[in-house]
Amino acid sequence: MFSTVLVANRGEIAVRVIRTLRSLGIRSVAVYTDPDAAAPHVAAADVAVHLGPAPSYLSTEKVIAAAKATGAEAIHPGYGFLSENTAFAAACEEAGIVFVGPPASAIEAMGDKIRAKQTVAKAGVPVVPGSDGVGLSDAELTAAVTDIGYPVLLKPSAGGGGKGMVEVHRAEDLPEALAGARRVARSSFGDDTLLVERLVTSPRHIEIQVLADAHGNVVHLGERECSLQRRHQKIVEEAPSPLLTPAQREAMGRAACDAALACGYAGAGTVEFIVDGRDPDSWFFMEMNTRLQVEHPVTEEVYRADLVALQLRIAAGERAPWPTFRPQGHAVEVRLYAEDPGAGFLPTGGRILAWRPPSTVRVDSGIAEGGVVGSDYDPMLAKIISWGGTRDEALRLLDSALADTVLLGVGSNLGFLRALLADPDVRAGNLDTGLVGRRLDALTATDLPAAALGAATGVTLLDLEPRGAIVDPFDVPGGWRLGEDAWTTRRMRVAGHEPVEVRARGRAAAAEVSIDGGAPIAVATVRDGDGYHHTQDGITHGCVAVRDGSTLWLSFDGRIYAIGEQEALEAAAEAAAGAGGPVLSPMPGTVTVVEVAEGQEVTAGQTLVVVEAMKMEHVLTAPVDGTVRELRARVGGTVAKDAALLVVEAAE
């Protein structure tokens, strides 16, 4: 076994790999870039090496130099970055450093979707009917579509994560779809080669975990269902699948092992299949991920295995270093992202003001209070994983854990995840890859409880009260007057809701609150350690609140709210019909296009600026007819969420 291993990754996967290295008594080496200097994976490792600016995780030369400088005998690549980079695996071999993963030849064979299909088809693994050949022109792809029949799915041959995949249902849409898919593939992967496949119209995404040693032994650890996705990227994964019978599971497991043997695989890998939800006996090979998967914890929980430890044992040359696996129970994982589901899953960002993961389930995270979530890397913050004796138990435990999760300062998909897990079809196991898209409006609809507004008001009153002995009653912000207390009015703003007028009087511990002109409600808010207790309508809730400038972040009854106060002048300006105003960036990112100039006249709906983050573009348009003023956006400049890029002064 190795004595020192370098982890060529960041975030939660780096922390997770380092945890196993420590349990095995192996010295760990972390690498980090400028934005990650204070990241948890750096603190978790025995040694940390600075690589340089943000893109440096992708530098083969810098990573191998760090391994040599620290005496690392092996490099664990995690997932993403260099994990499926053939040249990196080959460079490790040339440098005399063990790559904890498959041979470069296996990565190359499976990294190209066209070649992968050809390889596994020769081994008798069913593949989706589609184009056959590398480097097909648009005309050749069009001819293949004619043979296959609509609907079809265009896919980049390189890369993964669902980027560049386009569904086409009509012949007249094919030319534009081909152009768009090639553009995204070229931008994301540096290769615009496409393939086309028959579109399975009730698809379920099921993958098989395999382990193979360097001596020709291979075994599978059952399946994971990954059908709950947004933009072709997974949100929720579980093991086992509620769809498959034991016979179907065994047949797919054998096919996955055959696929691994066909490419000379060694290490931990995942063979992904698409399954017809209406006919589970109809399943096809999609691709093989030649690395550890983000969702590997659900397999670990069900099989009581440490896949990272097994990867290391295989890489060290051990023969079949796995026990006889016996699955137990059910596991479900959700991915906690810094994103706004209500805005098309645009990435968010900001400083983490409070992070309190649940203590009842497994949490793999790479964040800490005080850390900054920017746009340099993937917006996944953590994975929360539950295990139960049954699927119902696992889902119940997971929802309870999400209700206990506190993440303040960064907009996230936490509430969306709870809504998704509560969906009747999700509870029943009736899943498919289009479920989230069909129900997005319902899943992102949020209520705004009066008790949450009352708690925000109580916390605000507490913040304003003097901490020492009170001498003058006018120091207390409760509207004290001779006779009776006066009302104080605030307009509160919560994303996705109209501003709400909240009137309050009295002290936080004994106040009255009126919401949008409603009858006064008796409320009481008191501090309790690093949180609060709020009582309203005879019900007491524990909550956590942190103020960030004019925004109060509130964790209340299992939901997170970012509550701001609307100034009177702002409210008046908003009420003015046809008013223009500042154009704000909807996400942290980089300005890629500026279509206007200072003083230019624009019309409502005209493109002004394009902001990009994580390969997602967002086009900002003019809210009204008017004139561009205070233009701050510059091509190549980085911007924060809600940063004012320019002002559109409304035409008279």
Q: Please report which confidence band the pLDDT of residue 570 belongs to, taking 50, 70 and 90 as the band edges.
A: very low
pLDDT reported for residue 473: 59
In the predicted structure, residue 580 carries a pLDDT above the cut 80: no
Q: What is the pLDDT of residues 209-249, one digit of tens each?
A: 999 999 999 999 999 999 999 988 999 999 999 999 999 99
pTM comes to 0.86
Q: Which residue has the higher pLDDT, 370 or 617?
A: 370
pLDDT reported for residue 652: 74
pLDDT reported for residue 572: 46
Q: How far is Cα 294 from Cα 237, in angstroms, rounded to an integer?
A: 10
pLDDT reported for residue 214: 96
Q: What is the pLDDT of residues 393-424, one digit of tens each?
A: 999 999 999 999 999 999 999 999 999 999 99
In the predicted structure, residue 464 carries a pLDDT above the cut 90: no
In the predicted structure, residue 577 carries a pLDDT above the cut 60: no
Both structure tokens of 65: 């130099």
Q: Please report which confidence band the pLDDT of residue 573 belongs to, taking 50, 70 and 90 as the band edges.
A: very low
Mean pLDDT, residues 643-651 taken together:
90
Q: What is the pLDDT of residues 540-564, one digit of tens each?
A: 999 999 999 889 999 999 999 999 9
What beta strand segments (E) does 482-606 contain?
488-494, 500-507, 510-515, 521-528, 531-536, 539-548, 551-556, 559-565, 581-584, 589-594, 601-602
List the single range of 352-361, 401-410, 611-620 with lowest mean pLDDT.
611-620
Q: Are 536 and 523 in contact (CB under 8 A)?
A: yes
Q: What is the pLDDT of residues 498-535, one digit of tens each?
A: 899 999 998 899 999 999 999 999 999 999 998 999 99
Q: What residue ranges define each of the domains in the chain, with the CATH number in brackets?
A: 4-100 (3.40.50.20), 129-198 (3.30.1490.20), 205-443 (3.30.470.20), 458-565 (3.30.700.30), 577-650 (2.40.50.100)
Phi, psi of 324 (to 5 degrees): -80, 115
Q: Which residue has the higher pLDDT, 174 or 581?
A: 174
Mean pLDDT, residues 43-58 taken together:
96
pLDDT reported for residue 571: 47
Q: Are 650 and 579 in contact (CB under 8 A)?
A: yes
DSSP 231: T
Q: What is the pLDDT of residues 286-305, one digit of tens each?
A: 999 999 999 999 999 999 99
